[in-house]
A and B are shown apart, each in its own frame.
Chain A
Amino acid sequence: MTIPEFTAVVAIVAFVAGLLGALTGLGGGVVLVPLLTIFFHVDIRYAIGASLVSVIATSSGAAASYVKEGFSNIRIGMFLEIATTFGALLGAFLATRIPTSALAIIFGAVLLYSAYLSRKPRPPAQRSLPPDPLATRLRLNGSFPDLEGERSYNVQHVPAGFSLMFGAGALSGLLGIGSGAVKVLAMDQAMQIPFKVSTTTSNFMIGVTAAASAGVYLSRGYVDPGLSMPVMLGVLAGSLLGSRILVKAETKSLRLVFSLVILVLGLQMLYNGFWGNI
């Protein structure tokens, strides 16, 4: 393929990934790295660098529309970013030291876990939990607009959530993804933050987390302009369109298809990692 052909095909794939990622809420970056490595035979390090850049673009591009809904909690975000940025820095340094086959295997495991998590029904939100002393001291509790007016919530299990977010940041730095799956685990399940608040807050955090590892990737030569350009522009356009049509779209069957794609890509990454093809 010549450079213009390659650029066009990668841009289309990135556009579709960004669109599906926004429509299903699973994020586009998580499928991009396997697609680039498996079908375009891109070295996983270049793929990770390009994906990381697209993660920042999606997060910053969607921030304005998320903010106006009034769901995100800037204090939860900033407090947990201490954990995710530390983790991302560690992850990025690890990524430059461990073999690429190990990266592929970890990536495969994360994909399988994401596919599993996306099929699991969400537990019903607990209405009223007692305030946690640590969360109160950190001023993490908040409220958000609901059908019946303002609904307040009390954040739980702060240390567990903080540690999990460190892990989420490390995975993000290691694999160049937003690691939404771990963030859901930390914020929805451990800290009992309402779903809408955790998704919009984590969108904010994803960009900051990715920026923490971007410097390391850039200085190590992982960010190739020729590859990152179509990936960033494609994912950005796709995710912006996706968040526009989200309201009208029937996402249930789409989610099923997308999680199957993630499952297949996860198995493929594990296979390639174990057989040394990456």
Chain B
Amino acid sequence: MGDDLMPGAPAPAPQPSPPRQQAWDDHRIEVILGDLLRSGVVLAAAVVLWGACIYLSRHAHEPADYRVFRGEPSDFRTISGVIQSVISGRGRGLIQLGLLLLIATPIARVAFSIVGFALERDRMYVVFTLIVLAILLYSLLGSGIGV
């Protein structure tokens, strides 16, 4: 090894480390999930932008006022309300649908991670991921938004 440090000696070629099966699998899962997340965000942003065009063209001369908190009407608070307002062609309904898609992207990542850990036969992390998914679904459905 000492010879390599002599001046003028060629630099030692980096030894390719033997592939570690588990780390590689983890990485492959993550790359797939990363692409999944990005397409979700692009889709969500496109829907929001589309809704924005309708919303802005219809409310071009109204004043913007968010000083007083009124809370959103139920059209924008529940999944069924959002879908209803999208069907009736409302811009803000479309924006809200895009935001719902956006919220769904990390949830989809967690759901797909379960598959990844199951493929690796990592039972402990399948359970951990199921716990996270249960909390996420409870937040979405248990808080009344599903109605």
Q: Residues of A at under 8 Å CB distance from B? A: 1-7, 40-43, 45-46, 53, 56-57, 59-61, 63-68, 70, 72, 74-75, 78-79, 81-82, 85-86, 88-89, 92, 138-139, 142-143, 149-150, 204, 207-208, 210-216, 218-230, 232-233, 236
Contact = CB atoms under 8 A, between A and B. Distances in A.
A61 B49 CA distance: 16
B63 A2 contact: yes
B77 A221 contact: yes
Given A78-B125, A211-B103, A232-B102, 17 more contacts: A1-B63, A3-B64, A4-B60, A42-B66, A78-B129, A85-B136, A143-B23, A208-B110, A211-B106, A212-B135, A214-B140, A215-B142, A220-B71, A223-B72, A223-B96, A225-B51, A232-B99
Contacts of A64: 31, 34-35, 37-38
24 contacts: A2-B63, A42-B67, A53-B99, A53-B103, A56-B102, A56-B103, A57-B41, A57-B44, A60-B102, A63-B37, A79-B128, A81-B132, A82-B135, A89-B135, A89-B138, A89-B139, A215-B142, A216-B143, A219-B78, A222-B72, A225-B51, A225-B91, A232-B102, A233-B48
A22 to B, nearest CB: 15
Contact of A213 (B34, B62, B116, B139): B139
Given A2-B64, A63-B37, A215 B103 contact: yes
Closest 9 CB pairs of A and B: A221-B71, A6-B64, A64-B34, A67-B34, A221-B72, A225-B95, A215-B140, A215-B139, A207-B106
Contacts of A229: 48, 51-52, 55, 95
Given A219-B145, A229-B95, A63 B38 contact: yes
A57 B78 contact: no
Interface residues of B, number: 73
Interface of B: 14, 17, 23, 26-27, 29-31, 33-35, 37-38, 40-41, 44-45, 48-49, 51-52, 55-56, 59-64, 66-73, 76-78, 91-93, 95-96, 99-100, 102-103, 105-107, 109-110, 113, 116, 122, 124-125, 128-129, 131-132, 135-136, 138-145
Contact of A236 (B45, B51, B103, B128): B45
Contacts of A218: 77, 99-100, 103, 143, 145
A214 B56 contact: no
A60 B23 contact: no
A274 to B, nearest CB: 20
